[in-house]
Amino acid sequence: MSESSLIEAFLRPFDRDRASVRVGPGSDCAAVSPSRGQQLVATTDAVIESVHFDRRWFTPEDVGHKALAVNLSDLAAAGARPRWFLCALGVPREPRAVFYAARMARGMAALARAHDCAIIGGNVAAATEWSVTITALGEARRPLTRAGGQPGDALVLAGRLGDAAAAFRYLSARAAQVTRAAQVGRPVPRAALLAQLRPDPLVEAGLIAASLASAAIDLSDGLLRDLGHLCAQSDCGAVVECTTLPIGTLAAREPDALELALAGGEDYALLFAVRPRRLQALLRSIHGAVQIGRLTPPGEGLSLTERGAPRRLPARRGFDHLG
Protein backbone atom coordinates (compact mmCIF):
# COMPACT_ATOMS: atom_id res chain seq x y z
CA MET A 1 0.00 0.00 0.00
CA SER A 2 1.36 3.42 -0.93
CA GLU A 3 0.03 6.83 -0.04
CA SER A 4 -0.40 7.86 -3.67
CA SER A 5 -2.37 4.73 -4.63
CA LEU A 6 -4.69 5.26 -1.69
CA ILE A 7 -5.22 8.93 -2.53
CA GLU A 8 -5.87 8.10 -6.17
CA ALA A 9 -8.42 5.41 -5.27
CA PHE A 10 -10.08 7.71 -2.77
CA LEU A 11 -10.48 10.66 -5.14
CA ARG A 12 -11.78 8.64 -8.13
CA PRO A 13 -15.53 8.65 -7.27
CA PHE A 14 -15.70 12.41 -6.69
CA ASP A 15 -16.88 14.94 -9.27
CA ARG A 16 -14.19 17.39 -10.31
CA ASP A 17 -13.90 20.57 -12.32
CA ARG A 18 -16.20 22.86 -10.34
CA ALA A 19 -15.97 26.47 -11.47
CA SER A 20 -15.50 27.72 -7.90
CA VAL A 21 -12.50 25.43 -7.30
CA ARG A 22 -9.36 27.16 -8.57
CA VAL A 23 -6.95 24.59 -7.12
CA GLY A 24 -8.26 21.19 -6.04
CA PRO A 25 -6.56 18.17 -4.43
CA GLY A 26 -2.94 17.64 -5.46
CA SER A 27 -1.08 20.74 -4.29
CA ASP A 28 -0.15 21.79 -0.76
CA CYS A 29 -3.36 23.79 -0.55
CA ALA A 30 -6.69 24.11 -2.28
CA ALA A 31 -7.88 27.49 -3.50
CA VAL A 32 -11.48 28.50 -4.00
CA SER A 33 -13.33 31.70 -4.83
CA PRO A 34 -15.76 32.71 -2.08
CA SER A 35 -18.95 34.47 -3.20
CA ARG A 36 -19.17 38.22 -2.65
CA GLY A 37 -21.41 39.35 0.17
CA GLN A 38 -21.48 35.94 1.84
CA GLN A 39 -19.87 34.88 5.07
CA LEU A 40 -17.71 31.80 4.99
CA VAL A 41 -19.10 29.16 7.37
CA ALA A 42 -16.76 26.42 8.61
CA THR A 43 -17.09 23.34 10.77
CA THR A 44 -15.03 20.25 11.58
CA ASP A 45 -16.18 16.88 12.88
CA ALA A 46 -14.62 13.43 13.04
CA VAL A 47 -15.88 9.86 12.98
CA ILE A 48 -13.53 7.38 14.60
CA GLU A 49 -13.62 3.60 14.45
CA SER A 50 -14.93 1.90 17.59
CA VAL A 51 -16.05 5.29 18.95
CA HIS A 52 -18.44 6.45 16.22
CA PHE A 53 -18.69 3.39 14.06
CA ASP A 54 -18.30 -0.36 14.32
CA ARG A 55 -17.10 -2.17 11.23
CA ARG A 56 -19.28 -5.15 12.09
CA TRP A 57 -22.34 -3.21 10.96
CA PHE A 58 -21.09 -0.11 9.14
CA THR A 59 -20.14 -0.71 5.51
CA PRO A 60 -17.23 1.48 4.35
CA GLU A 61 -19.78 3.39 2.23
CA ASP A 62 -21.82 4.07 5.39
CA VAL A 63 -18.72 5.43 7.15
CA GLY A 64 -17.90 7.76 4.25
CA HIS A 65 -21.50 8.97 4.07
CA LYS A 66 -21.79 9.55 7.80
CA ALA A 67 -18.47 11.38 8.12
CA LEU A 68 -19.62 13.98 5.59
CA ALA A 69 -23.25 13.97 6.78
CA VAL A 70 -22.43 15.02 10.35
CA ASN A 71 -20.50 17.99 8.96
CA LEU A 72 -23.23 18.98 6.49
CA SER A 73 -25.68 18.82 9.39
CA ASP A 74 -23.57 21.46 11.19
CA LEU A 75 -23.66 23.66 8.08
CA ALA A 76 -27.44 23.10 7.93
CA ALA A 77 -27.78 24.33 11.52
CA ALA A 78 -26.00 27.52 10.47
CA GLY A 79 -28.36 27.93 7.53
CA ALA A 80 -25.35 27.69 5.22
CA ARG A 81 -25.15 26.31 1.70
CA PRO A 82 -22.43 23.60 1.52
CA ARG A 83 -19.67 24.45 -0.96
CA TRP A 84 -16.40 22.64 -0.28
CA PHE A 85 -14.79 20.15 2.10
CA LEU A 86 -11.42 18.69 3.12
CA CYS A 87 -11.01 15.14 4.37
CA ALA A 88 -8.20 13.86 6.65
CA LEU A 89 -7.98 10.07 6.89
CA GLY A 90 -6.34 8.02 9.61
CA VAL A 91 -5.50 4.69 7.97
CA PRO A 92 -4.43 1.53 9.82
CA ARG A 93 -1.77 -0.67 8.23
CA GLU A 94 -4.00 -3.53 7.16
CA PRO A 95 -4.56 -5.59 4.03
CA ARG A 96 -7.09 -4.07 1.63
CA ALA A 97 -6.92 -0.63 3.24
CA VAL A 98 -6.91 0.96 -0.24
CA PHE A 99 -10.06 -0.99 -1.14
CA TYR A 100 -11.72 0.04 2.13
CA ALA A 101 -10.85 3.70 1.53
CA ALA A 102 -12.15 3.54 -2.05
CA ARG A 103 -15.51 2.19 -0.85
CA MET A 104 -15.62 4.85 1.88
CA ALA A 105 -15.10 7.47 -0.82
CA ARG A 106 -18.02 6.12 -2.85
CA GLY A 107 -20.44 6.69 0.04
CA MET A 108 -18.99 10.13 0.66
CA ALA A 109 -19.02 11.13 -3.00
CA ALA A 110 -22.70 10.26 -3.47
CA LEU A 111 -23.68 12.55 -0.59
CA ALA A 112 -21.28 15.27 -1.75
CA ARG A 113 -22.88 15.17 -5.21
CA ALA A 114 -26.40 15.38 -3.75
CA HIS A 115 -25.44 18.60 -1.97
CA ASP A 116 -23.18 19.99 -4.69
CA CYS A 117 -20.24 20.06 -2.26
CA ALA A 118 -16.77 19.62 -3.78
CA ILE A 119 -13.81 17.86 -2.18
CA ILE A 120 -10.86 20.25 -2.37
CA GLY A 121 -8.18 18.65 -0.25
CA GLY A 122 -7.23 16.17 2.38
CA ASN A 123 -4.54 14.27 4.18
CA VAL A 124 -3.57 10.65 4.77
CA ALA A 125 -1.76 9.47 7.89
CA ALA A 126 -1.01 6.07 9.32
CA ALA A 127 -2.94 5.42 12.54
CA THR A 128 -4.00 2.53 14.78
CA GLU A 129 -7.68 2.89 13.82
CA TRP A 130 -9.71 4.27 10.92
CA SER A 131 -10.76 7.88 11.35
CA VAL A 132 -12.27 10.44 9.02
CA THR A 133 -11.97 14.09 10.01
CA ILE A 134 -13.81 16.42 7.69
CA THR A 135 -13.80 20.19 7.55
CA ALA A 136 -16.80 21.47 5.63
CA LEU A 137 -17.05 24.99 4.25
CA GLY A 138 -20.29 26.70 3.28
CA GLU A 139 -21.65 30.15 2.68
CA ALA A 140 -24.46 32.15 4.24
CA ARG A 141 -25.48 35.79 4.12
CA ARG A 142 -26.51 35.66 7.80
CA PRO A 143 -25.43 32.43 9.53
CA LEU A 144 -27.64 31.09 12.30
CA THR A 145 -25.97 30.35 15.63
CA ARG A 146 -26.99 28.92 18.99
CA ALA A 147 -27.27 32.46 20.31
CA GLY A 148 -30.11 34.75 19.21
CA GLY A 149 -33.06 32.97 20.81
CA GLN A 150 -35.10 34.87 23.41
CA PRO A 151 -37.81 34.02 25.94
CA GLY A 152 -41.10 33.54 24.12
CA ASP A 153 -39.52 32.07 20.97
CA ALA A 154 -41.12 28.86 19.79
CA LEU A 155 -38.93 25.74 19.59
CA VAL A 156 -39.36 23.98 16.25
CA LEU A 157 -37.92 20.63 15.31
CA ALA A 158 -37.25 19.31 11.81
CA GLY A 159 -36.46 15.61 11.50
CA ARG A 160 -37.17 12.61 13.71
CA LEU A 161 -35.88 11.64 17.14
CA GLY A 162 -34.66 8.41 18.66
CA ASP A 163 -34.27 6.22 15.58
CA ALA A 164 -30.47 6.48 15.43
CA ALA A 165 -30.17 5.40 19.07
CA ALA A 166 -32.74 2.61 18.62
CA ALA A 167 -30.87 1.37 15.54
CA PHE A 168 -27.59 1.44 17.47
CA ARG A 169 -29.18 -0.65 20.21
CA TYR A 170 -30.50 -3.16 17.67
CA LEU A 171 -27.21 -3.39 15.77
CA SER A 172 -25.13 -3.90 18.93
CA ALA A 173 -27.51 -6.60 20.15
CA ARG A 174 -27.47 -8.35 16.77
CA ALA A 175 -23.66 -8.30 16.71
CA ALA A 176 -23.53 -9.69 20.26
CA GLN A 177 -26.04 -12.38 19.27
CA VAL A 178 -23.53 -13.82 16.85
CA THR A 179 -21.23 -14.67 19.74
CA ARG A 180 -23.62 -15.36 22.61
CA ALA A 181 -26.90 -16.43 20.95
CA ALA A 182 -28.91 -13.68 22.64
CA GLN A 183 -32.41 -12.87 21.41
CA VAL A 184 -32.86 -9.52 19.69
CA GLY A 185 -36.47 -10.01 18.57
CA ARG A 186 -37.63 -9.93 14.98
CA PRO A 187 -35.15 -8.75 12.35
CA VAL A 188 -35.19 -5.12 11.30
CA PRO A 189 -34.63 -4.29 7.61
CA ARG A 190 -31.57 -2.21 6.79
CA ALA A 191 -33.78 0.63 5.57
CA ALA A 192 -35.04 1.10 9.13
CA LEU A 193 -31.47 1.42 10.40
CA LEU A 194 -30.39 4.23 8.10
CA ALA A 195 -30.95 6.92 10.75
CA GLN A 196 -27.86 5.41 12.41
CA LEU A 197 -25.90 4.27 9.36
CA ARG A 198 -26.61 7.05 6.87
CA PRO A 199 -28.08 10.12 8.57
CA ASP A 200 -29.63 12.60 6.17
CA PRO A 201 -28.36 16.15 6.80
CA LEU A 202 -31.29 18.59 6.65
CA VAL A 203 -29.53 21.12 4.46
CA GLU A 204 -32.67 22.45 2.73
CA ALA A 205 -34.47 22.92 6.05
CA GLY A 206 -31.49 24.92 7.32
CA LEU A 207 -31.44 27.14 4.23
CA ILE A 208 -35.16 27.89 4.65
CA ALA A 209 -34.77 28.59 8.36
CA ALA A 210 -31.83 30.95 7.77
CA SER A 211 -34.20 33.84 7.01
CA LEU A 212 -36.85 32.95 9.62
CA ALA A 213 -35.28 31.44 12.76
CA SER A 214 -33.53 33.33 15.57
CA ALA A 215 -31.22 30.48 16.65
CA ALA A 216 -30.50 26.89 15.64
CA ILE A 217 -28.55 23.78 16.59
CA ASP A 218 -28.24 20.33 15.07
CA LEU A 219 -29.06 17.45 17.38
CA SER A 220 -26.03 15.21 17.63
CA ASP A 221 -25.73 14.69 21.39
CA GLY A 222 -29.41 14.24 22.28
CA LEU A 223 -32.28 16.74 22.32
CA LEU A 224 -31.97 17.73 25.99
CA ARG A 225 -28.23 18.22 25.87
CA ASP A 226 -28.26 20.17 22.61
CA LEU A 227 -31.26 22.24 23.72
CA GLY A 228 -29.18 22.99 26.83
CA HIS A 229 -26.40 24.35 24.57
CA LEU A 230 -28.88 26.55 22.71
CA CYS A 231 -30.37 27.81 25.99
CA ALA A 232 -26.92 28.56 27.42
CA GLN A 233 -25.86 30.56 24.35
CA SER A 234 -29.20 32.34 24.04
CA ASP A 235 -29.41 32.94 27.82
CA CYS A 236 -32.84 31.31 28.09
CA GLY A 237 -34.63 28.48 29.80
CA ALA A 238 -36.93 26.15 27.85
CA VAL A 239 -40.00 24.00 28.25
CA VAL A 240 -40.60 21.00 25.98
CA GLU A 241 -43.97 19.26 25.62
CA CYS A 242 -43.23 15.53 25.36
CA THR A 243 -46.34 14.60 23.40
CA THR A 244 -45.29 16.81 20.49
CA LEU A 245 -41.93 15.12 19.93
CA PRO A 246 -41.65 13.48 16.49
CA ILE A 247 -40.46 10.07 17.64
CA GLY A 248 -39.18 7.83 14.83
CA THR A 249 -40.88 4.53 13.98
CA LEU A 250 -38.00 2.33 15.17
CA ALA A 251 -37.65 4.20 18.46
CA ALA A 252 -41.43 4.10 18.98
CA ARG A 253 -41.26 0.29 19.31
CA GLU A 254 -38.92 0.56 22.29
CA PRO A 255 -40.23 0.62 25.88
CA ASP A 256 -38.13 3.74 26.59
CA ALA A 257 -39.04 5.54 23.37
CA LEU A 258 -39.31 8.94 25.07
CA GLU A 259 -35.87 8.60 26.68
CA LEU A 260 -34.37 7.69 23.31
CA ALA A 261 -36.01 10.76 21.78
CA LEU A 262 -34.82 13.05 24.58
CA ALA A 263 -31.30 11.76 25.04
CA GLY A 264 -30.44 9.01 22.55
CA GLY A 265 -28.29 11.23 20.37
CA GLU A 266 -27.12 11.17 16.75
CA ASP A 267 -30.51 12.35 15.46
CA TYR A 268 -29.06 15.00 13.15
CA ALA A 269 -32.42 16.69 13.36
CA LEU A 270 -32.45 20.50 13.50
CA LEU A 271 -33.83 22.49 16.40
CA PHE A 272 -34.79 26.11 15.76
CA ALA A 273 -35.86 28.96 17.98
CA VAL A 274 -38.23 31.29 16.15
CA ARG A 275 -40.09 34.48 17.06
CA PRO A 276 -43.84 33.87 17.42
CA ARG A 277 -44.68 36.10 14.43
CA ARG A 278 -42.54 33.92 12.14
CA LEU A 279 -43.59 30.57 13.56
CA GLN A 280 -46.34 29.81 11.05
CA ALA A 281 -44.13 30.74 8.10
CA LEU A 282 -41.40 28.39 9.36
CA LEU A 283 -43.82 25.50 10.00
CA ARG A 284 -45.42 25.95 6.56
CA SER A 285 -42.14 26.06 4.68
CA ILE A 286 -40.29 23.09 6.24
CA HIS A 287 -41.98 19.79 5.56
CA GLY A 288 -42.64 17.85 8.76
CA ALA A 289 -41.42 20.58 11.11
CA VAL A 290 -43.32 20.71 14.42
CA GLN A 291 -43.35 22.99 17.43
CA ILE A 292 -42.08 21.10 20.48
CA GLY A 293 -41.96 23.85 23.10
CA ARG A 294 -40.75 27.37 23.72
CA LEU A 295 -37.90 29.34 25.24
CA THR A 296 -38.49 30.80 28.71
CA PRO A 297 -36.63 33.28 30.93
CA PRO A 298 -33.17 32.01 31.93
CA GLY A 299 -34.05 31.50 35.60
CA GLU A 300 -36.57 28.81 34.70
CA GLY A 301 -34.03 26.27 33.45
CA LEU A 302 -35.02 23.31 31.31
CA SER A 303 -38.34 21.56 31.98
CA LEU A 304 -40.62 18.97 30.43
CA THR A 305 -44.39 18.80 30.31
CA GLU A 306 -46.75 15.99 29.34
CA ARG A 307 -50.09 17.37 28.13
CA GLY A 308 -49.21 20.54 30.00
CA ALA A 309 -48.45 18.88 33.36
CA PRO A 310 -44.85 18.90 34.67
CA ARG A 311 -42.84 15.74 33.96
CA ARG A 312 -39.53 14.73 35.50
CA LEU A 313 -36.38 15.10 33.36
CA PRO A 314 -34.64 11.78 32.65
CA ALA A 315 -31.41 11.12 34.55
CA ARG A 316 -29.43 10.73 31.33
CA ARG A 317 -29.43 13.99 29.38
CA GLY A 318 -27.37 13.00 26.36
CA PHE A 319 -23.91 12.25 25.12
CA ASP A 320 -20.59 13.66 26.35
CA HIS A 321 -17.82 12.81 23.90
CA LEU A 322 -15.32 12.18 26.66
CA GLY A 323 -17.76 11.05 29.39
| Residues in contact with its own copies by the rule CB under 8 A | 1-4, 6, 22-23, 26-34, 36, 39-46, 48, 50-52, 74-75, 77-78, 80, 84, 86-88, 90-91, 93, 97, 120-129, 131, 133, 135, 137-138, 140, 143, 145-147, 216-218, 233, 320-323
Minimal distance, residue 220 CB to its own copies, in Å: 9
DSSP result, 169-215: HHHHHHHHHHHH-----S---GGGGHHHHS----HHHHHHHTTT-SE
Minimal distance, residue 80 CB to its own copies, in Å: 7
Minimal distance, residue 44 CB to its own copies, in Å: 4
Minimal distance, residue 225 CB to its own copies, in Å: 10
Q: Which is nearer to its own copies, 33 or 280 (CB)?
A: 33
Q: Which is nearer to its own copies, 30 or 274 (CB)?
A: 30
Map residue 268 onto helix, strand or coil.
coil
Minimal distance, residue 256 CB to its own copies, in Å: 24
Map residue 52 onto helix, strand or coil.
coil
Q: Which is nearer to its own copies, 86 or 251 (CB)?
A: 86
**147-172 in b/e burial notation, b at 16+ Cβ within 10 A?**
eebebebbbbbbbbbbbbbbbbbbbe
Minimal distance, residue 196 CB to its own copies, in Å: 17
Residues whose CB is less than 8 angstroms from the CB of residue 122 and which lie 6 or more positions away in sequence, other chains included = 7, 10, 25, 86, 87, 88, 89
Q: Which amino acid is at 274?
A: V
CB-CB contact of 157 with 38 (8 Å): no
Q: Which is nearer to its own copies, 34 or 276 (CB)?
A: 34
- The candidate with the shortest Cα–Cα distance to 111, out of 158, 75, 157, is 75
CB-CB contact of 145 with 234 (8 Å): no
Q: Which is nearer to its own copies, 118 or 258 (CB)?
A: 118
Q: Which is nearer to its own copies, 70 or 111 (CB)?
A: 70
